Amino acid sequence: MSTKTVDINEAQSQWKKIMSLVKAGTEIILIEGSTLVARLVPVTPSSSPRLPGLHAGAIWTSDDFDQPLAEEFWTGKV
């Protein structure tokens, strides 16, 4: 993947060009003066679909998870 550095002030006027570079696989580093601000990278689609129920039973929720909390919790008095 190639990389291109662009000043954030230039990026505002060249947004369409920058986005076409990202779509083509170029990583864009946005800078403001000499400070790194952000990195734009192309999104790569997942190679495999998500499977619902893959980890069934791996987590649990207690029976009282939605019960009101004790007054001591809110007041900080124990």
CATH of the domain at 12: 3.40.1620
Residue 28 lies in a domain: yes
Residue 78 lies in a domain: no
Tell the residue number behind the tokens 């999104």, with chain if given: 43
List the domain range (segments joined by +) for residue 18. 1-43
The beta strand positions in 1-78, using DSSP E, are: 3-7, 27-32, 35-40
pLDDT higher than threshold 70 for residue 78: no
The number of domains in the chain is: 1
Section 23-29 average pLDDT: 95
Section 20-32 average pLDDT: 95
Predicted confidence at residue 30, as pLDDT, reads 96
Residue 29 lies in a domain: yes
pTM summary value = 0.58
Residue 7 lies in a domain: yes
In angstroms, the CA 28 to CA 11 distance is 10
Residue 58 lies in a domain: no
Residue 49 lies in a domain: no
